[in-house]
Amino acid sequence: MKETVKHCVIVGLGNPGKKYEATRHNIGFMVVKELASKLGWRLKEETQFSAYCAHGQVGDTICRLLLPTTYMNNSGQAVRRYLDYYQLGPENVIVVTDDVALPFGEMRLRTMGSAGGHNGLKSVEVHLGTRHYIRLRMGVGAPDKLGSDDDALADYVLSGFSGNEAKTLPHFVEKGAHVLWQLLHEAVTWVMNEVNGKGPKVKQKPPQEGQENKNESKQEKSV
């Protein structure tokens, strides 16, 4: 394999099951599923990893998609198991997660940071042993009067989107998937500048569904 080929493991955070699939906490799942659809890949359950997985080559990047089925609080277990199997490290990881600190529709891309109270990120951090991994935060907003009530926060992120939010949710999810697509083609610093409002316009458009499908894949109530 050429030295120019890089590896990327994109992890969507969320809770498994139909009960949670349309909730705010599952927007990480939504974005990764959208990317899989755009690439024409099929996510398949891999019980050895406790996750739905897909993989293929996109340009010079071996891209692996991972949706843990461990429930949010234990997401890091699936990530660690997957990385160990393929002998990859935190430098290969991109995590997509919901963020109540950002207004709905806003995104932030970082190469490191704290978990910010997010139990899924806490689990990933514990099992990776570092805060140094790329994370795409998808803003889902917060209740007007949240305070420090953990139960209120749990109820909020495990609830569905409002009517107005639901109308624009598909576009927001598509924007998130496009950021991931950019990360497969561009330097992370360039994409960070664009996503975080400091860079140029998009250089190129993402592929239509199935356009870059070189290899078909294998593919909690918690906060």
Q: DSSP characters for 59-120?
A: TTEEEEEEEE-S-GGGHHHHHHHHHHHHT--GGGEEEEEEETTS-TT-EEEESS---TT-HH
What angle, rounded to 10 degrees, do the helices at 75-86 and 119-128 form? 30
User: What are the CA-CA distances from residue 115 to residues 90, 96, 126 (Å)?
Assistant: 15, 12, 10
pLDDT exceeds cutoff 90 at 221: no
Amino acid at 162: S
Q: Are residues 98 and 27 in contact, defined by beta-carbon separation less than 8 angstroms?
A: yes
Phi-psi region of 151 (alpha: psi -120 to 50; beta: other; left: phi over 0): alpha
Residue 147: pLDDT band (50, 70, 90) is low
Active site residue 25: yes
Are 202 and 190 contacting, i.e. CB atoms less than 8 angstroms apart? no
Domain locations along the chain: 6-195
Give the chain's end-to-end CA distance (angstroms, integer). Answer: 40
Q: Is the pTM of this model over 0.85?
A: yes
Instruction: Out of 25, 55, 127, 178, pick the active-site residue.
Output: 25
pLDDT of residue 24: 97
Could you tell me what percent of the chain has a pLDDT over 90? 78
How confident is the model over 122-128, as a mean pLDDT? 97
Whole-number Å distance between alpha carbons of 44 and 135: 23
Sequence-distant (≥ 6) Cβ neighbours of residue 20 within 8 angstroms? 14, 26, 158, 221
Class assignment of domain 6-195? alpha beta
What's the chain's average pLDDT? 88
**Residue 68: both structure tokens together:** 């843990």
pLDDT, tens digit, 9 for 90 and up, residues 82-91: 999 999 999 9
Q: How far is CA 15 from the centre of its chain?
A: 13
pLDDT in tens, 189-198: 999 999 998 6
* Distance in angstroms (rounded) separating the CA atoms of residues 173 and 202: 17
Do residues 203 and 186 make contact, with C-beta atoms less than 8 angstroms apart?
yes
pLDDT at 218 over 50: no
DSSP code, position 46:
E
